[in-house]
Amino acid sequence: MKEALEALVAEMVDKGIRFDEARMEFERRFIKRVLDRSRGNRSLAAEALGMHRNTLSRKLEELEIDGHRRARR
C-alpha cells in the first residue's frame, strides 16, 4: 500500500494538484467509503473514523457529502 500511495502522491505533484485539494478529495472519498460500509449509519461511521458523530456531521457539510442513504427497494 505504501508504494501505491507514493506513486499516487508523485502523480498528483506532477499534475500540480494543490495540497488542500488533495486533502479534501482524500477525506471525501475516505468518509464516503466508511459511510457506505456502515450503510449510512453516521454513528457507526463516526466510530470507525475515530471521531465524534457531530464532527462527522460537520465534515459531511464541509465536504458537501450527502450522508443519507436511500432505502433500497
Q: What is the pLDDT of residue 66?
A: 83
Strands, DSSP E only, in the chain?
none
Amino acid type, 7: A
Distance of CA 60 to the CA centre of its chain: 9
Q: Give the domain ranges of the chain.
A: 2-62
Question: So what's the pLDDT on residue 72?
Answer: 43
**52-64: per-residue pLDDT in tens?**
999 999 999 999 9
Task: List, for residues 13-46, the tens digit of each pLDDT value.
Answer: 999 999 999 999 999 999 999 999 999 999 999 9
In this prediction, residue 69 has a pLDDT band, given cuts at 50, 70 and 90, of low
As its CATH architecture, domain 2-62 has Orthogonal Bundle (1.10)
Is pTM beyond 0.95 here?
Answer: no
- pLDDT at residue 49 tops 50: yes
Question: Does the CA dihedral 44-50-53-58 come out positive or negative?
Answer: negative
